[in-house]
Structure 1
């Protein structure tokens, strides 16, 4: 469960995304940060019971900084107006697929996961795994509960077919993806309910076979 004040801080930050306002409201930021990190710890505790590969994860391994890197961005506002945490084997910087929670007021929060823009060698292995074991992959993403919770697998798509594949490959729609992610919306009201952690973990449980399949491509 998150405090209503955490959502309010993020809403206010969207309206006043500058250093002067942020410095004046540092106390509210630290309160919101602690609140979010407490939620992340609860998610880790539940996730470890469900997915032993997450054992050893710490909050600092999962939470993203609120400070933006604006060096190569046209948008020079200094702070993110969301809080996010990635749960995967080895932490947020690991090459493995995993789970993700995104907190952003205005109906933009979601629980999701998969693998986002992996390095070329990893993506190549995932494409091969989907190609070799497409019936298994199709049964996972075509399962009724999976479709009910997530809809379909998303990601930017290549305009051309990757080298070594053909357009008539039954798995080509997935093989052409540069990321393979799924999301489930979380309303602002749901984010401040005592049931939030349970709902996030339930969503992650539906996603677990999908995450496991993506990670099986990286096993020797």
Structure 2
């Protein structure tokens, strides 16, 4: 049986975006549950592929229901599927995310979304001491062709305690260390889509190995585990 993303996934979300209300969704809930079952199978298959080159501890597929309590947007349903793949903690850091949304809005993301205060400081200190290793990883042909450069939030100036003229200030002022790769609807529906996603995730491994080493050691290189 195919584990590809079914075309009806994108069709359903296009219809839901025009009828984002409880009455319409409840009427079409059996259709959604059938699609959801196939998509969950695809996410789990991707997790199996990833487990051949990484230690995936947990797969979390997010619910379609939006939390509208603190949002100005009161539409009750998401119009996409999202799922996270968690690496084995505490020794392996970083995570993976797969987002399926119609109209060429699908993407995969990886890296560090919200490093805690201690981790962020540790990463910045590492870059301050020596940025050659991280730049070598980012500039390899395989990595750069797959992922490009960092995206995400960054400070406009140097963080407190860091020199704004430091040669690595472009890295030091980052608040997030994220990579994103976008996909068209046509690409998402290809039979080899999950294989391509898996290969992209596999190519981020040198970055994860480096960051895991940084975040599990102190500034003297001594293990914190």
Same-fold call, TM cutoff 0.5: yes
Mapping for residues 171-190 of structure 1, pairs under 5 Å? 171-190=168-187
Q: 1:126 aligns with which of 123, 126, 139?
A: 123
1: CA distance, partners of 2:98 / 2:209: 18
Q: Deviations over 1:69-102 (max 9, x none)?
A: 11111111111111111112259xxx94111111
Q: 1:210 aligns with which of 183, 207, 212?
A: 207
Alignment partner of 1:112: what SS?
strand
Aligned match of 1:83 = 81
Q: 2:107 aligns with which of 91, 107, 110?
A: 110
Aligned match of 2:52 = 49
Aligned match of 1:68 = 66
Aligned match of 1:18 = 21
Q: Structure 1 residue runs of 4+, over 6 Å off?
A: none
Mapping for residues 30-41 of structure 1, pairs under 5 Å? 30-41=33-44
2: CA distance, partners of 1:128 / 1:88: 25
Alignment partner of 2:52: what SS?
helix
- Tell me if structure 2 keeps the 8 A contact 1:114–1:214: no
2: CA distance, partners of 1:85 / 1:201: 14
RMSD: 1.8
- Is 1:191 the counterpart of 2:194 in the alignment? no
2: CA distance, partners of 1:43 / 1:130: 33
Q: 1:4 aligns with which of 7, 10, 35?
A: 7
Alignment partner of 1:185: what SS?
strand
Residue segments in structure 2 that go unaligned for 5+ positions in a row: 217-223
Aligned match of 1:154 = 151
Larger radius of gyration: 2
1: CA distance, partners of 2:86 / 2:125: 21
1: CA distance, partners of 2:66 / 2:88: 23
2: CA distance, partners of 1:121 / 1:68: 31
2: CA distance, partners of 1:11 / 1:48: 32
**TM-score, normalised on structure 1?**
0.89
Alignment partner of 2:215: what SS?
coil
Provide closer, same or farther for how the CA distance between residues 160 and 49 of structure 1 changes in structure 2, counting only shifts above 3 A.
same
Shifted more, 143-152 versus 174-183: the winner is 143-152
